[in-house]
């Protein structure tokens, strides 16, 4: 989601209330699907501004016997929804109006599936919105606190380094990001000062030093108007009075050139937004404990290595632009050539006109769904004596009956959305690349 959001120059933030329990019992797969669907819609219908995911526990209902709930909300600054459409927005393929359908390609089954999944978890979902101002989608799930699974004790457990009393300056032009960082850092005992821009931040650093109460750490947003985080960091490094300051850079883009600059400028940490609380805490504790965290450890893991990858022709069938974008991003640095189709009917036309090594098939689509398209493909293969093309079903459902339904239609495998990159690449390797002789792929 961060990749998609940042490619549209939007801010993506996650605010978790300090009183939210660290461990709860629930269905992580369904919860992940709902959050992914809501964030995907928010990204699609927001052209500027921000998208904020918030989590907080809610009080007990009127009956004292009712459980507490955990409330999630996804707020955007997008186009909003007319009041007369709010009551039907969770129905299949509902769209606010025809012009939105043309421009944004519909919401598909995302909201309908989200409602079903939330209700299966024992919660409810609703939306508040104003046209041209934005929307906030809320949903709740029952809150049942639990404890983490027992883990083997390590030989020696290092004591946690306290951040109590550390003076930290947060420089970010986004109000929501500053609020989230202030709440988090204050919870850890830090003394926090905010600045809304690079020039203001530099002035705060100089003022605090002249008053004899210097900051120990500066957390900088890399992307700000007028003076960005790297320019501010250079000003800090060029000022002898501020040379002692530890710098943590937050960035929306995981670019190797920026990472190289961060290393050259001797930053203590370089974190990708939205920043995980644990990653931030560990970076600050490393600074407080006078340890240095290698910058590459703070960027997303590359995952375990895959076997040798051979060129493949792949047909991606998916009606949702966000999902197509994500899967294409996953396959960007592979030797795969990917064609796309927005529904089963278009997919069938492309299948008849080309030869593919593998098909990635969304199962819930308008016009012609994936089940029908798969059955038609299998029928044509049988009639024409063509070799069976591996088809991997992509579905928002994680239920056993959905797996069986996909297999019965003729699919070879079943992946549940949101699709994980490593699982997708492994599935492609298993069902297509293993049967391809190097140099023989069409």
| Span 284-298, pLDDT tens digits | 998 888 644 444 444
The verdict on residue 149 lying in a domain is: no
- Cβ burial of 265 (10 Å; 0-12, 13-18, 19+) is middle
Which CATH number belongs to the domain containing residue 31 in this structure?
Answer: 3.30.565.10
65 with 195, same domain: the answer is: no
The pLDDT, as a whole number, for residue 93 is: 52
The pLDDT, as a whole number, for residue 4 is: 74
The pLDDT, as a whole number, for residue 159 is: 59
248 with 334, same domain: the answer is: no
Angle at 417 between CA 416 and CA 419, to 5 degrees: 95
Name the packing angle between helices 229-238 and 198-210 (round to 10°). 30
Q: How many CA atoms lie within 13 A of 230 on its CB side?
A: 12
The verdict on residue 95 lying in a domain is: yes
The pLDDT, as a whole number, for residue 150 is: 47
3-class SS letters over 111-156: HHHHHHHHHHCCCCEEEEEECCCEEEEEEEEECCECCCCCCCCCCC
The verdict on residue 8 lying in a domain is: yes
Residue 24 DSSP one-character state: B
The verdict on residue 156 lying in a domain is: no
Closest CA to 201 of 165, 168, 175: 168
24 with 120, same domain: the answer is: yes
Among 107, 142, 177, the domain-final residue is 142
Structural domain count of the chain: 3
The answer to whether the beta carbons of residues 173 and 221 sit under 8 Å apart is yes
Among 298, 330, 361, the domain-final residue is 298
121 with 185, same domain: the answer is: no
The verdict on residue 407 lying in a domain is: yes
The answer to whether the beta carbons of residues 141 and 121 sit under 8 Å apart is yes
Which CATH number belongs to the domain containing residue 323 in this structure?
Answer: 3.40.50.2300
Return the H-helix or E-strand segment holding 357.
none
271 with 177, same domain: the answer is: yes
The verdict on residue 440 lying in a domain is: no
The verdict on residue 45 lying in a domain is: yes
129 with 66, same domain: the answer is: yes
Residue 42's alpha-carbon distances to 28, 75, 109, 154, 184, in angstroms, are: 21, 8, 14, 43, 25
Question: Tens digit of pLDDT per residue, the chain (442 long)?
Answer: 776 777 788 888 999 988 888 888 888 889 998 999 899 889 888 989 999 999 998 865 444 444 488 999 999 999 998 888 888 888 765 554 555 544 444 444 578 889 999 999 999 999 999 998 999 999 999 988 877 664 444 434 455 788 999 999 999 999 999 999 999 999 999 999 999 999 999 999 999 998 999 999 999 999 898 899 999 999 999 898 898 899 999 987 766 677 788 888 889 898 988 888 889 998 999 888 864 444 444 444 444 454 567 789 999 999 988 788 888 888 988 889 999 999 999 999 999 999 999 999 999 898 999 999 999 999 999 998 888 999 999 987 766 777 888 899 999 988 987 788 888 999 998 887 555 544 444 4
Domain coverage including residue 428: 313-435
263 with 329, same domain: the answer is: no
114 with 17, same domain: the answer is: yes
395 with 420, same domain: the answer is: yes
6 with 138, same domain: the answer is: yes
Q: Which residues contact 238 (CB under 8 A, 6 or more apart)?
A: none
The verdict on residue 304 lying in a domain is: no
pLDDT per position as a tens digit, 47-62:
899 999 999 988 654 4
Q: What is the pTM of this model?
A: 0.61
137 with 13, same domain: the answer is: yes
Residue 136 pairs in a beta bridge with 75, 128
11 with 125, same domain: the answer is: yes
Among 243, 275, 298, the domain-final residue is 298
């Amino acid at each position: 989601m961060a990749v998609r959001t940042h490619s549209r120059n939007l801010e993506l933030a996650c605010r978790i209330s300090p009183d939210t329990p660290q461990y709860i019992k629930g269905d992580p797969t369904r919860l992940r699907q709902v959050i992914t669907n809501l964030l995907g819609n928010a990204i699609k219908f927001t052209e500027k501004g921000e998208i904020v995911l918030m989590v907080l526990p809610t009080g007990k209902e009127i009956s004292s016997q009712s459980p507490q709930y955990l409330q999630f909300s996804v707020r955007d600054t997008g186009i909003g929804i007319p009041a007369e459409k709010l009551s039907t927005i969770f129905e299949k393929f509902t769209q606010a109006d025809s012009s939105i359908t043309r421009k944004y390609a519909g919401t598909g089954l995302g909201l309908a599936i989200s409602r079903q999944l939330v209700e299966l978890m024992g919660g409810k979902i609703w939306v508040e919105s104003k046209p041209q101002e934005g929307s906030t989608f809320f949903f709740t799930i029952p809150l049942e606190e639990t404890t983490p699974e027992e883990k083997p004790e390590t030989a020696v457990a290092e004591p946690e380094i306290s951040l109590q009393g550390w003076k930290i300056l947060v420089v970010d032009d986004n109000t929501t990001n500053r609020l989230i960082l202030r709440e988090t850092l204050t919870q850890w005992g830090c003394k926090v000062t905010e600045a809304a821009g690079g020039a203001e931040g530099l002035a705060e650093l100089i003022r605090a030093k002249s008053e004899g109460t210097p900051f120990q750490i500066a957390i900088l947003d890399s992307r700000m108007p007028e003076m960005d985080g790297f320019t501010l960091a250079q000003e800090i490094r060029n000022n002898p009075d501020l040379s002692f300051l530890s710098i943590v850079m937050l960035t929306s883009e995981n670019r190797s050139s920026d990472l190289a600059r961060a290393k050259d400028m001797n930053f203590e940490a370089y974190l990708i937004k939205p920043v995980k609380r644990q990653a931030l805490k560990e970076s600050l504790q490393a600074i407080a404990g006078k340890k240095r965290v290698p910058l590459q450890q703070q960027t997303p893991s590359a995952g375990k290595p895959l076997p040798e990858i051979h060129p493949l022709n792949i047909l991606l069938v998916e009606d949702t632009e966000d999902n197509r974008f994500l899967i294409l991003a996953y396959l960007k640095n592979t030797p795969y050539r990917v064609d796309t189709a927005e529904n089963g009917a278009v997919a069938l036309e492309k299948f008849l006109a080309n030869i593919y090594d593998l098909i990635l098939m969304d199962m819930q689509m308008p016009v012609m769904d994936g089940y029908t398209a798969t059955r038609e493909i299998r029928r044509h293969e049988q009639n024409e004596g063509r070799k069976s093309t591996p088809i991997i079903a992509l579905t928002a459902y994680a239920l056993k009956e959905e797996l069986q339904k996909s297999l019965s239609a003729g699919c070879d495998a079943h992946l549940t959305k949101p699709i994980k990159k490593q699982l997708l690449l492994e599935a492609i390797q298993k069902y297509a690349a293993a049967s391809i002789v190097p140099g023989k792929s069409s």
